Structure 1
Amino acid sequence: MAMDTSGNSDAASPTTRRTPEDAEPSVVALASNLDIGDPTRYVTGFELGFLVVSATLACFLVLLDVSIIATAIPRITTQFHTIRDIGCSSLQPLTGKLYSYFNIKWTFLALFLVFELGSLICGIATSSTMLVIGRAIAGLGSSGILNGGLTMIGVEVSTDKRQLLLGICMGFTQLGLIGGPLIGGALTEYTTWRWCFYINLPIGGIAALMLFFTNIPDSRTTVEGSLLRTLISKLDLISFCLFAPASIMILMALDWGGSRYPWGSAPVIGLLCGGAVGAIIFALWERKVGDDAMIPASVIGKRQIWASCLTSVFLFCTIMTASFYFSIYYQVIRDTTPFMAGVKMLPSIVSQLVFTMIGGFFVQKLGYPISLAVVGGAMLAVSNGLITTWSTDTSTVEWAGHQVLLGAGRGLSTQIPITVVQAKSEPAMMAVATSLLVFAQTFSGAIIIAVANTIFQQVLSNGLHSQVPQHIAEAITRAGASGVRQVTPTEYVPVVIDSYLNAVISVFYMGVVGGCLMTISAFGMHGKESRKT
């Protein structure tokens, strides 16, 4: 989606442009103004190559980090008995403003360093607590990397090269998400699951060094006043301080409910009530602040933008459930190795890649045909419904065919929400709107995993305790996913595997619901479609 860079803009050149103190300039709006100025201010030559490669590698690692542990989860749960990945998605809406008011290069490197530190802690973790802390730190850093990488290319690359290089960056970055289970399976089986985190260090080091030695012009908005005043007034830290505790309480309640505490227990109810009250206070504050808010009402109030966010949430539901629970199905129920579990996910990976390119072709030619999202949602609902029919001996043709349909649905629809958001946002709010969409995906991803885990654990626990002696059920639970067959007496293996199968299948009903809701929400994105001219 090309940005508006016409000469009819009222903005002056970047060297003379002044912004009123109460205005909220964005990185994208500034980038549009830069097109009018001196073209020599852009990064060129080998430094342009360094910039694009480093940003692409960093974004690749972030998406790889999301999916690479899917095939390693059974091994990790065997050693640590549990894994909780509490992300810091609440920081995501703030990152667009960070890049607007602070040096983009050093802000990006600082966030990337935090991500690398979290990966190191995960790699050397000796306990569940240490692993959780490492994942939280990595999530804190990664919350601004995707936004920052694409922003650097959008601001610092000239108009004639921008769309091509953004396409290359986004295309290569997607390989991290769809290839993560395969890479994670290979590392887990032939080395150790710790390399799922260590892999970020050498690749990340190369990316950081390349960016460090790249001279990037400072394109941030100049704001008069002290650093403290900028932090408080422009970044809306009050909103962040209100929203972060509310989101954490909600995630903790979903994580603890049904596993550590009963759903009706005081801790779970207290956390849910606290999160709800915090969310209400946050919403009231956002309304008071107006367009200077972390999530402005002028952005989220647009039908096509909130419909795009909802569509992305439902799409992400189908992605997250498949990424994590395909692995458990193949490793526990079909008794395959982590690497082969990753290999058996290839039908959905390849079909998603192919249909993403097909969807991109239609977007380029037609603008943003919402029919692709509608069809994609229907395909996701049908494919997840077919997956719920899987058994312990489902044929290769069946499970591979169902995966192909699943990947095709995701590929066709994945580009539509972001295209609509960019098309329907005012230039000054495009960065904020994009950050909102990414936030919707990351925050909903954390909720989806928590809900899916609750469903899985509840169904599994009910199945085990109804069919095997209590002491055996407890031993199976303590053994972790990859230790099921080793600790289960031979006579109980079939019923235990059936219990695991029922638990996995129950999770994929979430995918059916997600696909149906996505089909409905996609109609909300309808509007006057922008066509390429």
Structure 2
Amino acid sequence: MVQQTKNRKVVTIGLLAALFIGALDATVVSTAMPHITKELSGFSLISWVFSIYTLMMCVATPVFGKLADLYGRKSVFTAGLIIFAVGSILCGAATSMTAMIWFRAIQGLGAGALTPVTFTIVGDLYPGEQRAKVQGIFSSVWSIAGLLGPLVGGTFVDYISWRWIFYMNVPVFVIAFIFVVGFLHEKFEKKSKSIDYSGAILFTIGLSALLYALLNGGEKYAWNSALIISLFCISAVALSLFLFAETRVKEPMMPLALFKTREIRVIYLLSFLGFAVTAGVMVYAPQWIQIVLGHSATNSGFTLMPMCLAWPFAATMTGRLMFKYGPRLFIVSGAFVVAAGSLWLMLIDSNSPYSFLVGILVLIGLGMGLLATPILVLIQNAVDWSMRGVATSTNSLMNALGQTVGVAIFGTLFNNAAAGLETEQVAHGMHAVFIAIFVVSIAVVLVVGLLPSQRKESGKSKSSVAGG
């Protein structure tokens, strides 16, 4: 059982600091990238700075999630913290784009441990209704980081140096290290561990090939090119072997028993589809503002601000109210609000005012805030402590895959629909994307209908992590 001590609050502050700086890093790097590529002379490699980070994070997330179940949350969190800090220092010291790409890979590896293990520790520390409230706050971190990222990045680039967007991570991670490692005390049964090396290797190969194909298909290489087709084949074979291997090992990296529960299958699918919608909106709504409506790049960048404010507001309120009214109400409401925002997005045209985009992003932000918190809490309540790490990390993986697959599909639709670079042609291409986003949002609504009837949370925690 979790002890109610003051130290738990100290640990929570440390976890928030680690998660926030990791989330902030993504948006800050986007803002500073033009200056980085100019100084390091590597504009042609710019996509790799983001792709390698996403790739490593996706591959590492379920691996570290399982290790957290086997060896404890604190040790894996510490490893992720150190890896990310080392990667940040190296990125700040990079003297070439090639070096920057390799160092971003190290950062992504650390992020793959930090994000899911942070949410897992929160699930261990807080039982029942308290868990929902705190998870709502933690779910808001990404949106707040998205809001502050352009401001922080612009300030460092204009007045100090782009290198400090990486160096600033270090003091924050020192605080997180002291607060979490110094005050988090966990008790779990120590026994001989059997690591699923074959599963980890097959999963890494399969997912790496898949993500590389998705991130580069339709842009750097044609979808029907020999390389992309070969990558899809390699991915299919490796992931098939991975699924077979998971049925034959003592401690599978990703227990297939997770997917035997209808509730968890549906929730993972909701996470995948919901974040696909989010990715499409965050990529193409600002472009519509800038290219079609003719606003400045600054206005285009701040277009996402309403969404970044609405999301944490809804997530926090949901965390406070979901145990009074039930999680299903908020999941259903969130799905319909996202669909309403996506419908409005599909119906805009080149004559639609800027305020329409603001309203659309507020709706979608509110909808995702309503969805995110109950999804995470339901997953953690549905499994035992010994599987909470891998269950949480698998949800993080579904979020990242939803974003990656969504951007790949929407990008292909845009390239096929936009016959040229004229404003009307670009608008036509983006409208095709908006239609696809609405279709995915309808899928979210339909998948919500597959959720089993609502169950009450017992309020008892199976955790053995204590903050005291």
Fold in common (TM above 0.5): yes
- Structure 1 CA distance for aligned equivalents of residues 350 and 92 of structure 2: 34
Aligned pair 1:222/2:190, yes or no?
yes
Task: Report what 1:313 is aligned to.
Answer: 272
Q: Give the corresponding residue for 1:526.
A: 452
The Cα of 1:250 is off from its aligned counterpart by 0.9
- Seen in structure 2, the aligned counterparts of structure 1 residues 292 and 525 have a Cα distance that, compared at 3 Å, is farther
Aligned pair partner of 1:438 in 379, 396, 407: 396
Q: 1:189 to 1:257 in 2, by over 3 A?
A: same
SS of residue in 1 equivalent to 2:450? helix
Shift in alpha-carbon separation, 1:74–1:196, aligned structure 2, 3 A: same
Among candidates 150, 173, 181, match of residue 185 of structure 1: 150
Query: Structure 1 residues 365 and 145 mapped into 2: Cα distance closer, same or farther (>3 Å)?
Result: same
Q: 1:139 aligns with which of 108, 120, 123?
A: 108
Q: Within 5 Å, which residues of 2 pair with 1:256-275?
A: 256-275=216-235
User: Which residue number corresponds to residue 383 of structure 1?
Assistant: 341
**Secondary structure of 1:222's partner?**
coil
Q: Is the alpha carbon distance of 1:83 and 1:499 closer, same or farther for their aligned partners in structure 2, counting shifts above 3 Å?
A: farther
* Corresponding residue for residue 4 of structure 1: none
- The answer to whether the 8 Å contact 2:346/2:438 transfers is no
Of residues 246, 251, 257, the one that matches 1:286 is 246
| SS in structure 1 of the partner of residue 401 of structure 2 | helix
Q: What CA distance in whole angstroms lies between the structure 1 residues aligned with 2:390 and 2:102?
A: 29
CA distance in 2, matches of 1:116, 1:278: 32
Shift of 1:410: 1.4
What is the CA–CA distance in structure 1 between the aligned matches of 2:119 and 2:20, rounded to whole Å? 12
What corresponds to 2:465 in structure 1?
A: none
Q: State the SS of the aligned residue for 2:223.
A: coil
**Is the 1:189–1:337 Cα contact (8 Å) retained in structure 2?**
no
Task: Pick one of 352, 370, 386 that aligns with 1:412.
Answer: 370
Task: Report if aligned partners of 1:317, 1:448 keep a CA contact under 8 Å in 2.
Answer: yes
Relative to structure 1, the CA distance from residue 115 to residue 360 in structure 2 (aligned partners, 3 Å threshold; closer, same or farther) is: same
Q: Does residue 64 of the first structure (1) align with residue 24 of the second (2)?
A: yes
What are the Cα deviations for residues 210-263 of structure 1, in whole angstroms up to 9, with x where unaligned? 445x15435243124xxxxx3xx2x31211111110111111112222222222
| SS state at 1:258 partner | coil
* Cα gap change, 1:62 to 1:107, in 2 (>3 Å): same
Structure 2 counterpart of 1:92: 61
Residue 58 of structure 1: SS of its match in structure 2? helix
Deviations 1:392-415 (A, max 9, x none): 553133222222222222122222
Question: Is this contact kept in 2: 1:309–1:437, CA < 8 A?
Answer: yes
Shift of 1:503: 4.0
* Structure 2: tracts of 5 or more residues without a match: 460-468
Letter in 2 for 1:321: G
Question: What CA distance in whole angstroms lies between the structure 2 residues aligned with 1:525 and 1:273?
Answer: 33
In 1, the alpha carbon distance for the partners of 2:98 and 2:453 equals 48
Determine whether 1:514 maps to 2:440: yes
**Aligned positions, number:** 446
Take 1:404 and 1:165, find their aligned partners in 2: how far apart are those partners? 26
8 A Cα contact 1:83 1:132, kept in partner: no
**What is the deviation of 1:270?**
0.7
In structure 2, give the amino acid aligned to 1:108: F
* Residue 83 (structure 2) pairs with residue 114 (structure 1): yes
1:368–1:530 CA contact under 8 A, matched in 2: no
- Please identify the structure whose Cα radius of gyration is greater: 1
Kindly indicate whether the alpha-carbon contact (under 8 Å) linking 1:72 and 1:338 is maintained by their aligned counterparts in 2. Answer: no
Secondary structure at 1:378 match in 2: helix
When residues 218 and 430 of structure 1 are mapped into structure 2, their CA distance, relative to the original with a 3 A threshold, is closer
User: 1:330–1:200: structure 2 CA closer, same or farther, 3 Å change rule?
Assistant: farther
What does 1:436-515 correspond to in 2, within 5 Å? 436-457=394-415, 459=417, 462-464=419-421, 495=422, 497-515=423-441
Tell me if the contact between 2:322 and 2:330 (Cα under 8 Å) persists in the aligned partners.
Answer: no
- Provide Cα deviations, 1:161-193, integer angstroms capped at 9, x if missing partner: x9648734x344344311333323223444426
Aligned partner letter, 2:47: I
Q: Secondary structure at the match of 1:143?
A: helix
The letter for the 1-side match of 2:211 is: L
- Structure 2 length as normaliser, TM-score? 0.83
| Amino acid of the structure 2 residue aligned with 1:463 | G
Q: Which residue of 1 aligns with 2:382?
A: 424
1:518, 1:367 → 2: CA distance? Answer: 19
1:327 Cα deviation (Å)? 3.6
* Offset at residue 355 of structure 1 (A): 2.6
Give yes or no for contact 2:24–2:149 (8 Å, CA) kept in 1. no
Taking the aligned partners of 1:73 and 1:105, their CA distance within structure 2 comes to: 33
Report if the CA contact (8 A) 2:144-2:309 is conserved: no
Which residue identity does 1:80 align to in structure 2?
F
Do 2:81 and 2:114's aligned partners in 1 also have CA atoms closer than 8 Å? yes
Structure 2 distance, partners of 1:301, 1:326, is 38
Q: Which moved more, 1:238-247 or 1:67-76?
A: 67-76
Partner of 2:256: 297
Structure 1 pair 150–124 and aligned structure 2 pair: CA distance change class (3 A): same
Please say if residues 373 and 412 of structure 1, whose CA atoms lie closer than 8 Å, have aligned partners that are also in contact: yes
Instruction: Report deviation, 1:336.
Output: 5.0
What's the secondary structure of 2:147's corresponding residue?
A: helix
Structure 1 CA distance for aligned equivalents of residues 271 and 10 of structure 2: 31
Relative to structure 1, the CA distance from residue 135 to residue 503 in structure 2 (aligned partners, 3 Å threshold; closer, same or farther) is farther
For 1:96 and 1:66, the matched residues in 2 are separated by 21
Shift of residue 504, structure 1, vs aligned partner: 3.8
SS of residue paired to 1:144: helix
Structure 1 residues 121 and 163: CA distance shift in structure 2, 3 A: farther
Q: 1:109 to 1:510 in 2, by over 3 A?
A: farther
Q: Following superposition of structure 1 onto structure 2, how do residues 231-380 of structure 1 map, counting pairs within 5 Å?
A: 233=194, 235-289=195-249, 292-334=251-293, 339-369=298-328, 371-380=329-338
Find the partner of 1:403 among 357, 361, 379: 361
Q: Which has the higher contact order (CA 8 A, sep 6+)?
A: 2
Q: 1:345 to 1:153 in 2, by over 3 A?
A: closer
* Distance in structure 2 (CA, Å) of the matches to 1:503 and 1:336: 19
Cα distance in 2 for partners of 1:116, 1:455 equals 38
Q: Once the two structures are superposed, what CA deviation does each residue of 1:56-92 show, in whole Å capped at 9, x if it has no partner?
A: 1111223333444555667778872432323221222
Quickly say closer, same or farther: Cα 1:294–1:196, change in 2 above 3 A: same
Distance, in Å, in 2 between the alignment partners of 1:175 and 1:196 is 21
Amino acid at match of 2:446: I
Shift, 1:352, TM fit = 2.3
The Cα offsets for residues 403-460 of structure 1, whole Å up to 9 and x where unpaired, read as 2222222122222322332333345433332232222222333333333444445555
Tell me if structure 1 keeps the 8 A contact 2:286–2:300.
yes
Unaligned runs of 5+ in 1: 1-33, 225-229, 465-494
